[in-house]
Structures are given as C-alpha cells and as structure tokens.
Amino acid sequence: MSKEPRSPAILVWAMIVLAVAAVVGLRIGLGDGMARAYAERVEMRVTVQDVASPSGERVVEWVEWKSVSPAEFSRAVRESPSQDRVQLNPANTVGLWVAALLTLAIFSFLYRDNPAYRLAEAIIIGVSAAYWGVIGVWDSIVPKLFGALAHGWTTAHILPNLPAPTTQSQIGMGIALALGILLLLRLVPAVGGISVWTMAFIVGITAGAKIISHVESDLLAQTVATMQPLVQPADGGFWTGATLWASLPSVLVVVGVLCCLTYFFFSVEHKGVVGSAARIGIMYLMITFGAAFGFTVMGRVALLSQRVEFLLDDWLWLIDPLERRIVDGVSMIVGTGGVW
Amino acid sequence: MEGVLGILERLDRRWVFLAMALAVAGPILVMGITRKTLPETPTDASRAVFQVVQSLPRGSTVLLSFDFDPGSAGELEPMGVSMARQCALRGHKMVFISLWPLGGQMIDQTIKKVLRADFPHLQDGVDYVNLGFQTGNEQVMRVVLTDFKRAFPTTKAGRATADLPILSGIERVGDFALLAQVSAGYPGSKEWVQYVVSASGGKLPMVSGCTGVQTPQLYPYFPGQLRGLLGAIKGAAEYESLINAWVSDPANAAEMASAGADGGVSAVIPPKYLEAQRRMGPQLGAHLLMVVLILLGNVVYLAQRRSQRRAAA
C-alpha cells in the first residue's frame, strides 16, 4: 500500500494550532495573567413577619456573591492585603475556561469533523433539552396546571404568591389536562388513535387564530399600505426635483408589487408587455434575496464577532474595551504588579 | 495568470475561513486597544425608534419585550440596553417581559448594567419591573390584549402583580404608551404585529429591534404597523449613536439632571454604551472580505466559461 503524501496545508494548520497554544501560554505568564473571575461577598439581612416569634417578626441573614471586575479585586487587595471581601470565584473561573474551550471546539468543525466538536454539540443538545424540560415543568405545569387544579397545595409548598384561579381557568385547565392525557395515549398502541382528537384540536385552534391575524395584519394592512398616492407633493411646487424624489418610493412600491404579481401569474404566457413586467418582477425578487442575504451575513458576522470578543477580552485578556482591568491607569494586560 | 486562477479554483475553503477569522479579529483587536468606533449615519427607521421614545410624555409606562436569548445577544443585547437607557433618560416607567425562556435573564443583565448602575434612584416595582418569561407564545399575546395581569400574575422574583405600583392603571396591553420589542425569531416582532398591534387597531405604537435574518421580513411593516425598526447590529449601532449624541449635547443637561442620570452630560461615553458601534468594525472587515471573495469568484467563473468556450471551438 502506498502512503498518501502529507498535504502542506496540514502543516500550516498545525502551526496555527501551535500559535494559538503559544498565545495562551504567553498570556498566562505575562502581565497579570488571563481568564479569572472574581466575586464580592455581600451580607444580606431582612426582617420578615413570623407569627411563631414573640415579637411577630424574625431577622433572616444570608450571604450573596456579586460578580466584580478583576480591577476591583486588585484595588481591594491593595487597600487591605488580608481582606476576604473580594475573592477569586473558582466556579465562574472554571465556567469561563469551559465556555472558551467549547467555543474553540465548535470552531474546530471549520477544519473538519472531530471528537471535540461532537462533544460540544452533544453538550449543547443535552443542556438545551434539559433546560426546556425544566422550563416546561416550572413555568407551565406547576403554575398553570397545579396552580389552577391544586391551588392550595401549590401556594403552600411551591409558589406562595400565586393568585387564586378563576372558575373559568380551572375548567380550561381541566380540559387541557384531559386533552394532554389523550395525546399521551399515543404511547399505548391499543388506544393510540384517540390522540387524533387532541391533534385536531391543536390544528383547528392554531389555524383559526393564525388565519384571522394574517388576513388582518399581512393581507389587509399591507394592501392598504400599497394603495398610496403615486405623487407625493413636496415644498416648492409640483414639478420640482423634491416632489419627484418624494414620489419615487411610492412609484417603486407600486411597480414592484404589480411586476412581482405578474411574475407569479402563469395563466398568460410571459411574452411582450407581460414578459417585460415579469422580468422587472424577477429583478425585484433578486434585490430582495440580495438584501436578505446581506442582512443574514451581517447577523452571522455579529454573532461571530461577539464570540471572538469573548475569547480576546474575557478569556485571553488581550483587549479591554469595557475598562474592567485598569488599575490606577495601568492595564492588567501589561501587568500592574498586583496579587492574583 | 493561469497560475493564479488555478490556485483560486482549487483553493481550500478553510483558507476562506481563516481569512474571515482574521477580518473579524483584526478590527476587534484594533478597536479594543484604541477604543475608537466608526461614525454612524442613522437611517430613517432607526431615527424613528429614537423619536418615538423621545416624543412620549415623561413618566409614560413602556412595555419592553425582550424575546431573545444568549444565542443572539451579540446582535440584540445592545438594542435592549439602548432602549432601557433611553427610557430611563426620559423618565419613562419600564415593564419588562419575555416570551423566550432565557429572556428573563437577559432582562436581569440589562437592569443590572443600565438601571442599577447608572440610575440607582429607580425603584424595582415602582419605576421598573421584570415580569420574566411567560410560556404560551401567541396565547400570551392574546391574553394581554384583554387582561395583562392574568398573563403575568407574578414578577420574575415571585411578587404578585395585582398590587404592583408600576402596574396601577394597566389593565390590558393597550394601556401602555409604547411597546418596545427586541426579537430573535419566533415568537417575536412579526407575531406582536399580527396578534397585538393589528388587534389594537393601530392604537398601540410599537417599535422593534430584530436580527439581520428577520429584518427584510419586517421592513414592510415600517412605518405603518411598526413606528420604528432597528435592523441587525447596524440598526443597534445607529440607535446607540443617536442616544450618545443626545447625551453629549449640553442642551439636554437639565433633562439629564431631572432623570437622575449618574455622570450627567459628558463627551466621554461609557464603553458599555458603545458595544454596537464597536461591533461595526468587524462588520466592515468581514464585508470587505465578502466583496473581494464575490469578485474573485466571478472572475474565476468567467475565466472558466471562457476556457470552456475556447475548448469547444
């Protein structure tokens, strides 16, 4: 078996990976280091009513940890080296590193599919599914279903401030519970067909609600918006450049609508005047698709730049646009001589 | 020339990815170090958002719906921050809601970043409140049309909304002076227009900030059903620059003082209010690269077609 020649591109990419590793290594060693999160201890104290207490009230105390910038930690240490009010936050620091490594793992797919990318992908899917599950229970089932059908138990054990349900909402939730059980019967093959009732209810309600709103907001309102005077008189007279300029958008809208509709009208052959109008319609559609593509690119680049900003700012501490790491006018990027 | 075209024809796509990474990272590094931003010329749609919020009487109650999550925060968070900041500067009361599960946390971040940091005199429950996420998508919109507090019985912190001072006089969504919404997809601006603005007969003014993907779909609603529209990070940068210009204008010093804004009128804008404008740098780099790549792609295509015609002849 002949061995495939090694591509020079692989060497280049290996050098890029090494360069990134070198930057991380240098940043850990130079200046005030990189990628650390700090928190400030805040003592909380409130007085609450307590019928069991002789005074009728009770003091509740607890500690909260508030995220602070590295500069605040550095300042606190300078003021009092033995202070423990502002401390390194190990959990958030680990979170910062995990976020950075997962970001790089996702970006690694651009080179080729690999185990690091698949691990990151699996974590995202798992976390999303779990989060949706938790949201479903705590934002839907508990406050809405339990809150309506078992209000006393819910307020006693879970949500003390939940308002009492109305009879209407209790009946509604009873019907929703019954429909939900019918839908779950899909898992029992012998009686699974009955779940169609719930499906029919969902489809019917959705279609009914959407048809009305679409007709009102997209068909009627947009048709009205198209029916505007072609000539928009501007100051200084009728036959002026200002009037022509002000009228141009209305003319373009009306021409565009008519030509695009003509393009989608297939009962007449696209020849002559109809063909010309259809071609103008195609141009309008192409401009629309171009604008959509341009906006999509802008959106994706914005998301990419946010992740790159995160890597360069929060993780590597190479830039500091929010001025969170400046102590007495000196940037922690170059080193303030502080303790960390 | 054949050599160059040959290289372009066989170019590994990963070089394009690397070029894009450099085009984005370069401006971020430069702007991060120099703290400079590019100048912005606001469009009519962005200017309209600013004007609508400015034109409301002081103390109006504004409903802010943050329908996005961290996945689109790069584009949308600066819009939310700017909306909250302008409302606070104008002395409006702010009721925050979300129809996206993680929207409640995005609201918390905005409150911490803007209201607690620069407007510490504002009180939770009196001047602003976070009602958090509510499940149900369009059903929530239909409920708020008739009974706002039924859709949001408690705040995010669990306090009942029935006797909340900020919601006194608010029975339904039409009682708000303005609906300011930030949208990442479904449910978002389109649904708010379809189910709430249309149903209110145009009485509830709405402004929206949305992702780039949604912008072309929402432009037909402007300026009729949507009074103002911030399209993608460009719209966010324009809106941010309008507020920064207003804040820097000495003529607005009295109003700033009455709003209790910490710092008052200043030519130096805090860096947290320049986030969208900073992100226009990588946009410039990435778009220039895209233009060059499209041109190169067309050159290669035309050269290929020419050589095929020659071969056929």
A46-69 pLDDT per residue, tens:
888 887 888 888 888 989 898 999
- Looking at the fold, whether B209 and B223 belong to one and the same domain comes out as yes
Range of the domain at B31: 2-36+279-312
Per-residue model confidence as pLDDT tens digits over A116-135: 999 999 999 999 999 989 98
Smallest CA–CA distance, residue A60 to chain B, in Å, is 17
For residue A140, which residues of chain B lie inside 8 Å, CB to CB? 135
From the DSSP assignment, how many helices (H) and strands (E) are in chain B? 14, 6
A66, β-bridge pairs = A40
For residue B220, which residues of chain A lie inside 8 Å, CB to CB? 222, 225
Contact B167, B148 (CB under 8 A): yes
pTM for this one?
0.88
- Looking at the fold, whether B132 and B224 belong to one and the same domain comes out as yes
Per-residue model confidence as pLDDT tens digits over A270-311: 899 999 999 999 999 999 999 999 999 999 999 999 999 999
Please compute the mean of the pLDDT values over residues B215-235 and round it to a whole number: 93
- Looking at the fold, whether B128 and B233 belong to one and the same domain comes out as yes
Write the CA distances from B291 to A85, A291, A299, integer angstroms.
53, 14, 16
- Looking at the fold, whether B284 and B265 belong to one and the same domain comes out as no
B64, β-bridge pairs = B96, B180
How many residue contacts between A and B have a Cβ separation below 8 Å? 149
Which residue in B has a C-alpha nearest to residue A288's C-alpha? B216
- Looking at the fold, whether B87 and B210 belong to one and the same domain comes out as yes
Q: What string of H, E and C letters represents the secondary structure of A45-110? A: EEEEECCCCCCCEEEEEEEEEEEECHHHHHHHHHHCCCCCCEEECHHHHHHHHHHHHHHHHHHHHH
Distance between CA atoms of A244 and A241, rounded to whole angstroms?
Answer: 5
Write the CA distances from A97 to A104, B156, B198, integer angstroms.
11, 30, 47
The interface predicted TM-score (ipTM) is: 0.89
Please compute the mean of the pLDDT values over residues B245-249 and round it to a whole number: 90
- Is B14 in contact with A110 (Cβ distance < 8 A)? yes
Cα–Cα nearest to B72, from A135, A109, A302: A302
pLDDT value of position A1: 45
- Looking at the fold, whether B299 and B269 belong to one and the same domain comes out as no
Smallest CA–CA distance, residue A291 to chain B, in Å, is 7
Query: How crowded is residue A99: how many other Cβ atoms within 10 Å of its Cβ?
Result: 16
Q: What is the CATH number of the domain that holds B150?
A: 3.40.50
- Is A312 in contact with B234 (Cβ distance < 8 A)? no
Side by side, the strands of the sheet bearing A86-88 are: A57-68, A38-49, A86-88
- Structural domain count of chain B: 2
Res. A21 pLDDT band, cuts 50 70 90: confident
Please tell me which of the candidates B33, B72, B271 has its beta carbon nearest to residue A323. Answer: B271
Q: Which range among B46-50, B160-164, B253-257, B283-287 shows the weakest confidence by mean pLDDT?
A: B253-257
pLDDT value of position A8: 62
Distance between CA atoms of A336 and A92, rounded to whole angstroms?
Answer: 23
pLDDT at A6 over 60: no
Please compute the mean of the pLDDT values over residues B225-248 and round it to a whole number: 95
- Looking at the fold, whether B272 and B290 belong to one and the same domain comes out as no
Per-residue model confidence as pLDDT tens digits over B52-91: 999 999 999 999 999 999 989 999 999 999 999 999 999 9
Contact B256, B83 (CB under 8 A): no
Please tell me which of the candidates A159, A160, A301 has its beta carbon nearest to residue B282. Answer: A301
Please tell me which of the candidates B14, B153, B283 has its beta carbon nearest to residue A162. Answer: B153
For residue A300, which residues of chain B lie inside 8 Å, CB to CB? 212
- Looking at the fold, whether B23 and B169 belong to one and the same domain comes out as no
Mutation for testing the B interface, residue in A13, A102, A216, A306 having most B CBs under 10 Å: A306
Smallest CA–CA distance, residue A272 to chain B, in Å, is 30
Cα angle A253, A255, A260 (rounded to 5 degrees) comes to 95
Which residue in A has a C-alpha nearest to residue B109's C-alpha? A67
Which two structure tokens, joined as six digits, stand for B276?
């969208």
- Looking at the fold, whether B246 and B135 belong to one and the same domain comes out as yes
Please check whether residue A299 touches B, CB under 8 A: yes
Please tell me which of the candidates A213, A221, A313 has its beta carbon nearest to residue B224. Answer: A221
- Looking at the fold, whether B102 and B217 belong to one and the same domain comes out as yes
- Is A302 in contact with B75 (Cβ distance < 8 A)? yes
Which two structure tokens, joined as six digits, stand for B293?
């790549």
- Looking at the fold, whether B31 and B150 belong to one and the same domain comes out as no
Residues in CB range of A227: below 8 A, 6 or more apart:
none
Q: Crossing angle of helices B73-89/B232-248, nearest 10°?
A: 30
- Is A209 in contact with B29 (Cβ distance < 8 A)? no
Contact B148, B170 (CB under 8 A): yes
- Looking at the fold, whether B124 and B206 belong to one and the same domain comes out as yes
pLDDT at A320 over 60: yes
For residue B291, which residues of chain A lie inside 8 Å, CB to CB? none
